[in-house]
Amino acid sequence: MSNLTVLAGAPVLLVQLVVSGILVGAIFALVAYGMALVWGVMNIINIAQGEFVMLGGYVVFFLDRAGIAPVFGIPVAALVLYVVGIALYHTIIRRIVGRDMFTSILATFGISILLQQLANQLFSADIRTVRSGLPSLFFADGMITIPEVDLVGFAAAVVVGALLVAFLRTTRMGQAIRATAQNARAARVLGIDTDRVYATTFAINCAICGAAGGLVAMTWFIQPYLGLTYTLRSFMIVIVAGLGNLAGVIVAGAGLGVVEDLAGFVLGSEYQTAFVFMLLVVILVGRNLWLARERRSLR
């Protein structure tokens, strides 16, 4: 508990932990929003989510090596992953839409293993990073530092989120996606090509992950096996925030980042992940009790 005394002695550190937690959480939120989209529209839990992040990271890494700055690399990564998404949809995903959820989990789990090993064969297990070349900002006598690349990540997460909302609200395809999410059968009856809707939805998710992967390569590092971290985090965010709730996803993502940082500081890094998952259990149990109460009053 001595760490608590440290925190009490220098509350400015709390600001550092909260701010960097929010900035980090934004990238998780981005990946989670893609997951929520696919889950909500197609009823597929995509276990390969983290692998798309990894692939996006590699695209930005190789472009950076070829002399293309990450700022331009990120949109390219999104585009490349969009194409990957379309290809995956037509080869595998379309066969599991509408099937049992267990089938989709198994299939995407298979995709995730395949992508991991492919990446390992093609790019080797070396740990790669992309240098953003951006400086850090200092506040409060250097006690608070914010790497500008984190701000870029946060801004990108917000922009992509906003674009997505605009897309879903205003375009024909966006409306078709929402209609399909509400009732796929009715949408088909009304002439919506749900196959195309599913393909677009899945590819958009891949594109979002690709962009997030570029940010990950700039902020931390990439390697073929980093996927699980992002799949788990986004799964958790979606569980807490619920489907089709962008604001909720961003809040849950930022909250996750903050809680992880605080837990890491106070309890030590070894309990960082454990604490977060304990919290998940508490939230789920709590929500279940809350819902049970409502069910009772309905009866």
Residue 256 to residues 70, 182, 187, 260, 287, Cα–Cα distance (Å) = 26, 28, 36, 6, 17
Q: Which residue has the tokens 């989709």?
A: 104
Q: Is 4 in the site for another protein (CB under 8 A)?
A: no
Contacts of another protein in 164-203 (CB under 8 A) = none
Which string of x and - marks every residue 268-287 that binds another protein (by CB under 8 A)? xxx-xx--------------
Pairing of strands 144-147, 136-139: antiparallel
Site stretch for another protein (CB under 8 A), options 12-20, 202-210, 282-290, 291-299 = 12-20
Q: Is 223 in the site for another protein (CB under 8 A)?
A: yes
Q: Which two tokens stand for residue 215?
A: 């940010």
Q: Which two tokens stand for residue 165?
A: 């909302």
Where in the chain does DSSP place strands (E)?
A: 136-139, 144-147
Q: Is 220 in the site for another protein (CB under 8 A)?
A: yes
Which string of x and - marks every residue 21-50 that binds another protein (by CB under 8 A)? x--x--------------------------
In degrees, rounded to 5, the angle at the alpha carbon of residue 266 between the alpha carbons of residues 260 and 272 is: 35
Q: Which two tokens stand for residue 219?
A: 């902020």
Q: Using DSSP, state whether 87 is helix, strand or coil.
A: helix
Rounded to a whole number of angstroms, the minimum distance from the CB of residue 54 to another protein is 12
- Out of 149, 168, 217, 249, point to the residue binding another protein (CB under 8 A): 149
Q: Is 151 in the site for another protein (CB under 8 A)?
A: no
Q: Is 127 in the site for another protein (CB under 8 A)?
A: yes
- Out of 69, 101, 125, 155, point to the residue binding another protein (CB under 8 A): 125
CA distance 116 to 102: 21
232 or 249, CB closer to another protein? 232
Q: Which amino acid is at 191?
A: G
Neighbours of 121 (CB within 10 A): 10
Considering CB under 8 A, how many residues would be counted as binding another protein?
47
- DSSP structural state of residue 69: -
Binding site for another protein (CB under 8 A): 3, 6-7, 9-10, 13, 16-17, 20-21, 24, 117, 120-121, 124-127, 129, 131, 136, 138, 142-143, 145, 147, 149, 216, 220-221, 223-226, 228-229, 260-265, 268-270, 272-273
